[in-house]
Every structure is written in C-alpha cells, then in structure tokens.
Amino acid sequence: MRISRRIAANVFTALLILAGPYLHAQATNYADKPPLLLGAAWYPEQWPESQWDKDLSLMEAAHITVVRVGEFAWSTMEPSETQYDFGWLDRAVALAAKHHICVVLGTPAAAPPAWLTTKYPETLRWDENGVRDEHGNRQQFSFTDPKYRQFAHAIAEQMAIQFGHNPDVVGWQLDNEYANPSFDPTAKAQFHQWLQKKYVTIAELNRRWATAYWSQTYDNFDEIPVREDGENPALLLEWKRFVSDTWKSYSENQISAIRPHADSRQFITTNTMGWFDGFDEYTVHSVLDIAAWDDYIDSDHYDYISNGATHDLTRGYKQKNFWVMETEPAFVNWRKTNTPLFKGEVRDMAWQAIGHGAETVEYWQWRSAPNGQEEYHGVLVGADGTPVPVYDEIKKTGEEFAKAGAALAGTSPHADVALVNDFPSRWAIDFQRHSAAFEPIGEMLAFYRPLREQSQSVDMISIDAPLDSYKVVELPGLNVISQAIADRLIAYVRNGGHLLLGPRSAMKDKYNALQPERQPGPLADLLGGRVDQFYALDDKIPVTGNDGSGTASIWAEQLSVQSPDTKVLMTYGKSNGWLDDQPAVITRQVGKGSITYVGTWLDDATLDHLTAHLLNEAGVKPILPGIPAGVEVCRRSGQGKSVLILINHNTDAEHISFPSPMRDLIGSQDSAVSAVDLAPYGVAVLMP
C-alpha cells in the first residue's frame, strides 16, 4: 500500500511539472518589472498635483505596481487643436516610477474634446435612426470618419513620441471598451464598398443572399440598407463582419501612429467587455499584442464558473496569457441595485483571474472622481484621499502576488479540452432565435460548466484555432459552418479526436443561408445521423438514456440514425407527439475518435452525466481529483514549473488533501504540507 501511494504521489508530481508546453509568460517585457502586477486606473488630471504623491504612496503601500493613465484625458493633453501638453503626464509617470509603479498609457480616443466635436460635427456617430450623438458623454465618435481617425492618429503619435521609449511605460491601451458602430453616411458608403470588394458583382450578392425572396433583389450596392435588425439574415451577418473589420482598421490607425516611435517591448492592446458581441473579437485582436478585458459582475452575485469562462474566453483571443485591465473593487454603479461583493470575494476574484492566465489585475478605479457620471462606483480610496474598507483586502492580495510572482513567471494554463466560441454563429442565432429563451451565451455556459468542473481546465477557442492538441472539442452552437471548417472537424475526428455538437449546429453556411443538407449539414455523413426537425419548447420534456433520466427545455431536435454504427444515447419521452420516443442524443465512433450530437438543451444533471461519459471515453482526467464542490482548481505550467491555485468559493471552510506534499507559496508555513484548510473564499498557491 505504501508503494502504491508513493507511485501515485510521484505520478501526480510529474504530471504537475510536465503539464503543457513551456510557453514564456510574463506581465511585461521588462525584466525589472514584477512578474505579476496589481494595479488601478489612476486619473491624475482630475486632481491637484499636490495630491499625487499621497495617492501614489498609498498605492505603493498596497503593493500596487501598475497604473493605467490617460484614456479619458484628451482635453488635458490637447486643450486646443494641435496644441499639446504632456508636461503633467510626464511628471505623473515619473512620480509613479519613484513609487515603483509602472504605467500603461491609454490613448484618449474614447472621449474626444468639445473643441473637436464642435468644430468637426461630422466626427460624431449616428444611431440607426439617423440621430447624431451630442458631446457630454463618451464614445460619441464615428469609428469610420476620416477626420476623427486623423485626430486619433495625431494624438496617439504625439503620445508615442513623448513616451514610446520611457522604460516606465510598459504598454498601450487603445481607446476604451470599443462598443457602438455608427450609421452615418461615411459608414454606409464604406459598408457598400466593403460588400462590393467581397462579392465583386451585385449579381453574386443577390445569388448568395437569395434576394428573390420578398423582391429584395438589388441593382447596385448603394441600394442595400444598413440596419442591425429586421433585414435579410445575410445582410445582418455581413454588417457585423464589416463592423469587426472596421474596428480592426480603427486599431491599426492608432497602432501605425504608436509602433514607429515605441520600444518594441511596449505591448499594444485594448480592453474588451467579456461576452460583448458587437464585433468579432478574434478579428479585432489579430492586430493586438495581448488581450485584456474588464471584469465586472453583471448580476447581483458573483458566479465563479461564469466569471472563469470569461477569463478563458479572453485568453483564447490570442491563445496566451492576458491582462484584466479593470475589476470592480466591491461594487459598481450601473446595475439596478449595486450590491457589493462579499468580504473576501474581491481577493477570490483576483486569484481566479491569475489561475485562468491573467498576468495583471487592475481595479477601476483608484479614487472617487470629484464629479461625473460615475460618482457612486466602487474605489480603493474615497474622494477625501483615505482608504475605503476594500483597500486592505486588495493590499493583502498585492502582498500575495509579490510572494507568488516568481513561481508563476513563465507559466500558463493548459487544457486537454476546448470549447469553441464562434461569433458568426452567435449572431446568426440571435438574429433568429425562434425561441426567446435560446440565448447563445447561456448555451455556451451550460456546456462550459460541467466541462470545467470535471476536467478543471478548459480552453475557449475560435473555430479557426488548431484542434490537434485537444482530446475533446465541444461546439455548443456552431450554427454557421463553411465546408473548410467542416473538413477540419472531420479530420480532427478521423485523427482520434472526440467532437461534440450542440443543438442548432451546422444549420447555416457562411452567408447565413440554410445548408442544402439537413443538420448537421456537411457533418451529417460523419455523424451517420441528422436532424429531421427542430422545435421550440415552452415546457420541460423528459429524456432518458443509459446514464439515467432528466429533462430537456427551450429547444429540441428530432434526430434520426442513418448509419448502423451510430448509437442512440438518449431519447425523448412523451411530449408533443413529434418527439415521443425519438433520439435526442446520438453518437458514432470513428476509429479512435467520435462525434456526438446533442439535439436539445439538457438540464444540468443530465449534461453532467453526458460530459462525464465523453471525458471518460477520451481519457481526460481532473488535475486534482476528489475536490469538494465550490472549490476551483487552476493549474499554470511552463519553464519546468507547475503551480496549483486552489480557491474556495464557498461560505464554509473546506479541507483539501494532496497525493504528495506541496509548498503553499502564500501561506504562513515554510515547510511542505499534505493538505490545506481553506477558509471561506480562501486561496492556496501550491508547488510540488
């Protein structure tokens, strides 16, 4: 028995150390900066300069090592046209450096000054109804307007000339939270040009869009309307793609201003908004160095699974470690009721970000603004300059980042399973939900939850990402599929991969037109089955299978088996007559691989069983087995190291035992331990 335990312990240690390829990962490209950064958004332009040193001293005491500065300061940087003033910003960066704090500079294009929008009203965005925005808020610019891009390029270039080789400026954030497109005449003209470049002739567009329907046939590209809803599904999808390409070129406009004048070690990014789908994030991130997102809780209480999924989503944009550019310090100001995170959850969230691949966690914001639309938002320091209660929790987190940073340097998360996020498919379903409850993000999270809980590590990737390294790939709602994508998926299965498709998969082609074959379209032959019909559900209906029984809701597809090799895993019970006793889930072995089609939205317990079956078939094991529910396991590995991060998201303490002794890098004990006791919202950072 002792030998067996020793072998198990040695295997566990070896797996920890050897897990995943050894990719370099570091918060910055500057060797003299900490490997993990804790930070805050700081707005020195809003406060008298005499207060800066006091603020920075409090930051340093809290182990804050990075600040983001400047993203809303255009009117201070350029108080009048072509008259630039960077003296105050130069002094702010220098003073931060004296407190061992580095800087990310934000280009201020999200908030143009009044002189610009007054003198050049064409730079303001139009909404879908032709109403022009006014000055006084933010993001009121047109992302296509040439004049606006000229000014955005100029301010970014002047900033880069001033700070591009400042060693205390480690990176650049373009703008702030790209969001709304514009429907102004320039945007419409550019969309028509974009369509003409893609389709070449109006006849080809008419053919692909099937515009004979409702006499939508166009004689020229200028006739095509520009709207976000109520139009031909192909038009709606192409508008989203145009918006994505336009935000990409918007980024390139400022990148072309910064890069020639900047140290190559300075990264360029922008901050995104989680599951926001106004554009394709993979397209926009293709020209950025790293991904970053703003981590805000959009419900009354913190859902760690959902939050972790968004970290994995963001990591997938570049398939490498990322930054959290903003995090709420206990509460926000924009929900109906702005309940706070519980005491301990702020630290819990910070370590979860690190566990999922963040190199930096920054809070928004450092200090309450003296006025403005966000006066009630959470902060670390009040308007009087003294810390608020959450300051101490963030300070503790900073102390722990300093302790564990060296061990985590050069490490990243790695996974055997992947979940595919596809923006065109999400858009296509949203355009025509057919069931109001069929929410694409909700579907993604429904599949993510058991995958994460059972495998303990999930990559969320684009459909264009390489698949060969994954034992299991799940596509919950790949509604839009091209033949090229289908060929890659077929090859993945034939090479031994295990593929799972969710409801509504492979229904549309890349033009958002129905496939000529029944679902799953070009994958039907591989599956040896198809969807005979789909139905929206208003009530739950029963499903049964070898692993037990459960319920289906929202959506149900009547499947049929077309090959003797295809097996039925679950069937519908009595419901609407059409679905009675019909297959709900089918699967087919293809050599060492498999393809499984789930035709309905299963309840959590049933999807748990199905996921367990698939992972077992693929040989996927958890990182650390036997973990209590509500305790999250994260592993980061690389450069010959492996680090476990355990987070207790429960309100009760939990006891965790290890197969072999581990050192807790942030605990009070110096020696290795065989177990840890995690307090509510407790964290342990462990190495073999």
Domain boundaries, the chain: 36-406, 417-618
For residues 208 and 513, the answer to whether their CB atoms sit within 8 Å is yes
Q: Which of 326, 359, 393, 654 is catalytic?
A: 326
The Cα–Cα gap between 356 and 351 comes to: 9
Residues in the chain with pLDDT values less than 50: 1-15, 17-25
Half-sphere exposure of residue 547: CA atoms within 13 angstroms, side-chain side = 16
Look up residue 503 and give its two tokens.
């409801």
Q: What is the pLDDT of residues 562-581, one digit of tens each?
A: 999 999 999 999 999 999 99
Cα distance between the two ends of the chain: 22
Q: Is 359 a catalytic residue?
A: no
Please tell me the pTM assigned to this model: 0.95
- Tell me if residue 584 falls in helix, strand or coil: strand
Residue 468: how many CB atoms within 10 A of its CB?
9
CA 670 to chain CA mean position, Å: 36
Q: What is the pLDDT of residues 462-478, one digit of tens each?
A: 999 999 999 999 999 99
> Looking at residue 15, what is its pLDDT?
47
Q: Is 326 a catalytic residue?
A: yes
> Looking at residue 547, what is its pLDDT?
76
For residues 148 and 141, the answer to whether their CB atoms sit within 8 Å is yes
> Looking at residue 6, what is its pLDDT?
44
- Give the residues across from 637 on adjacent strands: 412, 642
Q: Which H or E run contains 245?
A: helix 233-258
Give, in words, the CATH class of 417-618: alpha beta
For residues 676 and 646, the answer to whether their CB atoms sit within 8 Å is yes
Q: What is the DSSP string of 169-223?
A: EEEEE-SSS------SHHHHHHHHHHHHHHHSSHHHHHHHHTTTGGG---SSGGG
CATH match for 36-406 among 3.40.50.360, 3.20.20.80, 3.40.50.920, 1.10.30.50: 3.20.20.80
Cα–Cα distances in Å, from 294 out to 39, 64, 179, 297, 361? 13, 18, 13, 10, 10
The Cα–Cα gap between 194 and 31 comes to: 44
The DSSP code for 148 is: H
> Looking at residue 16, what is its pLDDT?
52
Phi–psi pair at 596, nearest 5 degrees: -125, 135
The Cα–Cα gap between 623 and 620 comes to: 9
Look up residue 666 and give its two tokens.
């942030």
- Whose tokens are 């300059």? That residue is 385
Q: Which of 122, 177, 439, 617 is catalytic?
A: 177
Look up residue 232 and give its two tokens.
């031909």
> Looking at residue 226, what is its pLDDT?
95
> Looking at residue 331, what is its pLDDT?
87
